[in-house]
Amino acid sequence: MPIEQKPFRDAMARLGAAVNIVTTGGPAGRGGFTASAVCSVTDSPPTLLVCMNRSVSSAEAFRSNGVLCVNTLCSAQRDLSGIFAGFTGIDGEERFNSGAWGTLVTGAPVLSGALVSFDCRIVETLEKGTHLILLAEVEAVNAGAGGEQGLVWFARDYHAIGRAA
């Protein structure tokens, strides 16, 4: 029998993860959300796994557009995380008024200044509990200039991380 939700969440708070804004764009419009549940699946073909709560306001846009971009934030982009997490009351297209956005191959919004952006096509969607699991093949990568500090979520708070000197 699975453990209860609170002990599970408390344990997961000890698992640090990069902070990402995951975006979509296309005929169903633009949308995005903040995620820490992102990881590599395989490098042949290059594939990422992204977990998205079904309650995300743009969930249907992700399904309809069939594309996404994982934008990994640097520490200077912390405020964008709150906007795309829904903490500010800003929703939908208005979220893209913050930050500078472009595109690569798929048309999903790519955040200027992100540590790295993975432009992907969604190849499979799985459903588990409250979440959708998106498997996405990487079609383009935009790596930042380097030197920036990364942003991680650990112990229910943001932390800047960087390379040792």
Mean pLDDT for the chain? 93
User: What mean pLDDT do residues 63-73 have?
Assistant: 97
Q: Could you tell me the domains of the chain?
A: 5-161 (2.30.110.10)
The pLDDT, as a whole number, for residue 146 is 62
* pLDDT tens-digit series, residues 150-159: 999 988 889 9
3 state SS for 109-130: CEECCCCEEEEEEEEEEEEECC
The pLDDT, as a whole number, for residue 68 is 98
Tracing tokens 């005929």 back to the chain, one arrives at: 27
* pLDDT tens-digit series, residues 26-55: 999 999 999 999 999 999 999 999 999 999
